[in-house]
Amino acid sequence: MLCQNHQKYTGPDGTASKRWTKTTTDLAGRTIQTEQPGFNNSTLLTTLTYNSKGQREKTEQIAVSGSTSNILRTTFYEVDPLGNQTRSGTD
């Protein structure tokens, strides 16, 4: 995966804001990760994975608190030969 490591904070005071979003994109400009504040001082991390054609394959949401992380939800995507999403499923 090519990673530009471009990070953008959305919120009036960056991570000091009560509600903020940190977005990381790759060289193609696709979002590969977002971070947002969660419950009980945790951080909600969402990671997006793409295939070699640039189509989204998987989205994973993880709650991170200190050194502990818990996978909350994983969603898989299938596309047809034309690139249209045909199916998604949550694990």
- pLDDT band for 7, please (50, 70, 90 cuts): low
Q: How many Cβ atoms from other residues are within 10 Å of residue 7's Cβ?
A: 11
The size of the chain, in residues, is 91
- Taking 70 as the threshold, does the pLDDT of residue 77 lie above it? yes
Q: Is the separation of the CB atoms in 60 and 74 below 8 Å?
A: yes
**Mean pLDDT, all residues of the chain:** 86
Closest CA to 6 of 35, 27, 20: 27
Phi-psi region of 23 (alpha: psi -120 to 50; beta: other; left: phi over 0): beta
Single-letter residue type at 17: S
